[in-house]
Structure 1
Amino acid sequence: MHRRIGRAAALVATATAAATLTTAVPAVAGPASAHSDRRLLQQAVDDLAGYGITGVQALIRDGRRTAEARAGVADITTNRPVPKNGYFRMGSNTKTFTSVILLQLVGEGRLRLDDTVERWLPGVVTGNGNDGAAITVRQLLRHESGLANYTDYLALQTPEDFEAHRYDHWEDADLVRLALAHPPLFAPGTDWSYSNTNYTVAGMIIERVTGKPWHAHLRQRILQPAGMTQTSFPGDDPDLPDPHAQAYESFPPDVPRYDATRWNTTAAGAAGGLVTTPTDLSLFWQALRQGRLLRPAEFREMHRTVQISENGSGYGLGVFRIPSECGELWGHDGGTPGMYTMDAVTPDGDRSVIISISSAPTDPANASARATQLINDALCQAR
């Protein structure tokens, strides 16, 4: 399940493939248009459904113009189609939202990126070699803290465990304690390792600084400035808003299609708990890249990355730098039980692509390569 809640490895693989992939579909001739974008998307989602994904939806935003496509089914028992602009759990895209809120507080002078975790959460990160006094806020946001990943230890690895615990409520402090039962992976600032624990701690710092939970800041600080109306943190509510596709988790080798749609997102929280739609998520990336959510100084800090692979992909403060055949792109990916998201945006924010799938593919290598190809085609051919 640690691979599903906050699936960093998927985007690292995407970035690697993006730098070398040869486009296999006909190039779009001339400037991108709504028609060419729809054609490109429809071919891609049809291909993805052919790799064993039950349902997939994708969107390209170009300025104010959008193109959408969908393929597969929303429900394998009724075969109803994937809904247009359906709701889904965005998983670790949530990290970018959490980072934006925290960076806004930095811009307001309410804390500093060089503050230690101990400064704001005294006595919380300690034990088994873990030391909050040695970890900075910046290291949390850039996954350089060395803290173990708590989702490695959630009891959600089998159908039986998932059924027993899918509705459990989790406090942030409980999730952090799961990680602190294990020694750090490395000394803070000496290496990089993706850990959902970092953003759970970041959410706790936001609450300590402001007196409000991290998600209480969403509307004023992000949703309203970006014009978003379909994004929320459901907390203990296990249901997705309508319309949505069912989420099918894979528990190899025996249960390839387990309905995991109903799930308590407090297990993901500030690291991966938000629900959205393709339209709303594209609005977020556009607003972020166009400077409507962060001041210039904090925007620059967000995009100062540490290299995480040999091909040049990097991670900043809640964002991946994605090398592609047309240069540098930005984005994130995410996964929760049965739902996976990939997205990317051009540096100017004018053009973005969102991909949401509602089951694990039966052919993950080819599905990942095809999704990567879509990102390249959507964001590079029009430039």
Structure 2
Amino acid sequence: MPPLRTLLAVPVSLALLAVAPVASTTPPTPAPAAATTSPALATAPATDADAATDAILPLLLTQGHAPAAALLTREESGSAGQPGTFEASSAVGPSVQTRTVSTHYAQAGQGIARADHFRAGSITKTFIATVVLQLAAEHRLSLDDTVDQHLPGLVRGAGNDGRTMTLRALLTHTSGLNDFTIDTKGVVPLSPLQAVRIALTHPPAGPGRYYYSNTDYVLLGMVIQQVTGDSYAAEAERRIIAPLGLTGTSFPGSRISLPSPHGRAYAADGTDVTELDPRVAGAAGELVSTLADLDRFYAALLGGELLPPRRLREMLDTRTAHGLYGMGLFPEKLSCGVTVWGHNGRINGSYVRTAATVDGRRVLTFRVNTTAIADPDLEPALLAAEFCPRTS
């Protein structure tokens, strides 16, 4: 499922960060509120797509029982100057095209503001995959390396074997490794090693078949540290966050509080879970970000600012995962036939969805401040309203 704009959420379960959403118990319903667009926050006139997404946003409150929801869209048009060229020896290539950017913000309910920091869940995986593909572009690793080449002897047990498991399999969720959050329910803080050991108590779930597992990306975080000598968080900061100026994005480690400003976050039963130990997710879902930063990141990634063309094509190649997943990104074909790319993210108290056109010129990011949305049809409806051509 996967130009900067905020997306609608699919229903999600309490199990952390899975791509396929599952409906779950939801907190009490607040009074319905209309979507609002502040002229001070919108830098361009409202479009038909803006009006359509604004109309759907309040339905998250009335049907999905989310306390509050918000979306931010970004659209790039026009250009000045010439595209830059990517240098494999550097993390991020020279500046690319200068574009005219318009944004549109809308929110429904109370408790969410445009500048708020929030937990982005599995959107972390796109950052991790980007770092791994940058290291591949620098010839510091190969996607066909086995896990054992970088983490010798770690993946053994219950039929799992790191000697036959490649980094490509981890990136595409075809390793067969069990998802450790099935055991922890996404609420138990763990070290990466503890998370992997939990997964290794279970037999593989069909190696070579697509099986979404947070354990895959915990292992990739460990590989990044083994190859570079720095943590995945430090590498993402150096290679992505700082160069793109993502001032609201961070890897909090074990810090349980959110940076200011932020609103509140609620579990499915209405419990306030704003304070949360990010080690429940680690490299699979630790990230904290903002609407604007996520729009900027996906626009830059799909626009070719972070990866050379070959590596970006690999990221978007879904053949290994049978059309369901690339590497840290997945496609979603909308009812009108348009395909968008991005990722969703859920962690206790937060659901986020980002989707973009394949060139990154149009992006939508959506969030709610609760773990689950009850109606599975709301997200594709919102995406269709944003990305499908409109007829007069």
Q: TM-score range by the shorter chain?
A: 0.7 to 0.9
CA contact (8 A) 1:352 1:379 kept: no
Counterpart mapping for 1:90-101 below 5 A: 90-101=120-131
One of 135, 156, 167 as aligned partner of 1:126: 156
Q: SS where residue 222 of structure 1 aligns?
A: helix
| 2:310 aligned with 1:302 | no
Cα distance, 1:87 vs structure 2: 1.2
Counterpart mapping for 1:326-337 below 5 A: 326-337=337-348
RMSD: 2.1
Using the alignment, how far apart are the partners of 1:59 and 1:113 within structure 2? 34
Matching residue of 1:235? 253
Matching residue of 2:205? 185
| 2:283 aligned with 1:270 | yes
One of 316, 322, 341 as aligned partner of 2:332: 322
Which deviations, in whole Å up to 9, do the C-alpha atoms of 1:103-144 show, x marking residues without a partner?
000000001000000000001100111100010000000000
Using the alignment, how far apart are the partners of 2:15 and 2:179 within structure 1? 12
Aligned length: 333
CA contact (8 A) 2:266 2:272 kept: yes
Can you give the 5+ residue segments of structure 1 that lack an aligned partner in the other structure?
12-31, 75-81, 157-161, 251-255
Higher helix share: 1
One of 48, 52, 75 as aligned partner of 2:60: 48
Matching residue of 1:257? 270
Moved more, 282-291 or 352-361: 352-361
Normalised TM-score (structure 1): 0.82
Matching residue of 1:222? 240
CA contact (8 A) 2:44 2:102 kept: no
| 2:153 aligned with 1:137 | no
CA gap 1:45/1:316 in 2 versus in 1, 3 angstroms: same
CA contact (8 A) 2:210 2:324 kept: no
Normalised TM-score (structure 2): 0.80
Counterpart mapping for 1:1-383 below 5 A: 3-10=14-21, 34-36=45-47, 37-51=49-63, 52-63=65-76, 64-74=101-111, 82-154=112-184, 168=189, 170-186=190-206, 188-189=207-208, 191-250=209-268, 256-306=269-319, 314-324=324-334, 325-361=336-372, 364-365=374-375, 368-381=376-389
CA gap 1:220/1:226 in 2 versus in 1, 3 angstroms: same
Using the alignment, how far apart are the partners of 1:305 and 1:346 within structure 2? 16
Using the alignment, how far apart are the partners of 2:330 and 2:178 within structure 1? 20
CA gap 1:228/1:133 in 2 versus in 1, 3 angstroms: same
Which deviations, in whole Å up to 9, do the C-alpha atoms of 1:117-175 show, x marking residues without a partner?
0000001100111100010000000000000000011166xxxxx5xx5xx4x211111
Using the alignment, how far apart are the partners of 1:107 and 1:228 within structure 2? 23
Using the alignment, how far apart are the partners of 1:235 and 1:33 within structure 2? 37
Matching residue of 1:29? none
1:375 partner letter:
L
Which deviations, in whole Å up to 9, do the C-alpha atoms of 1:39-58 show, x marking residues without a partner?
33432221211121111111
Can you give the 5+ residue segments of structure 2 that lack an aligned partner in the other structure?
1-11, 23-42, 77-100
